[in-house]
């Protein structure tokens, strides 16, 4: 039985790239809606007065979270500061390195 995978990433929007980021979010949201029917939730929150973005994702399993087309466009406009989550991450599940070079990502956890 597969387990839910819940991920939250927090990013800093690169200076002068907010408009580009908003366009990339629109593209990615449309892509996910049309091509990723298994995604349970995919929400992006932009801070109005700060250069910060939070992304919440809920997937039925790690295969559903494999990087979506357009993910690179988000990375060009924002730098991931933290990627946290719970569930069973697979080898293709996104991860990031913190400023000290330590890999951060989804931690295995049994939910429920």
Q: What is the pLDDT of residues 27-74, one digit of tens each?
A: 888 888 888 888 999 899 999 899 999 999 898 887 787 766 557 778
Cβ neighbour number for residue 52 with a 10 Å cutoff: 15
Task: Give the burial class of 19: count Cβ atoms within 10 A of its Cβ; 0-12 exposed, 13-18 middle, 19 or more buried.
Answer: exposed
> What CATH number does residue 51 fall under?
3.30.70.100
**In this predicted structure, what is the pLDDT of residue 29?**
83
- pLDDT, tens digit, 9 for 90 and up, residues 19-28: 999 998 888 8
| Count of domains forming the chain | 1
The whole-model pTM stands at 0.73
Q: Is the pLDDT of residue 101 over 60?
A: no
Residue 7's pLDDT is: 86
**Residues of the domain holding 67:** 5-108
């Amino acid at each position: 039985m597969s387990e839910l995978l819940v991920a939250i990433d927090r990013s800093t929007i690169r200076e002068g790239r907010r408009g580009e980021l908003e366009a990339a979010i629109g593209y990615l949201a449309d892509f996910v809606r049309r091509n990723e029917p298994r995604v349970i939730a995919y929400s992006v929150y932009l801070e109005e007065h700060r250069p910060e973005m939070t992304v919440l994702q809920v997937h039925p399993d790690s295969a559903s979270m494999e990087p979506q087309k357009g993910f690179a466009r988000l990375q060009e406009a924002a730098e991931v500061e933290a990627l946290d989550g719970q569930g069973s991450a697979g080898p293709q599940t996104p991860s990031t390195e913190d400023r000290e070079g330590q890999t951060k990502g989804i931690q295995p956890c049994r939910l429920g």
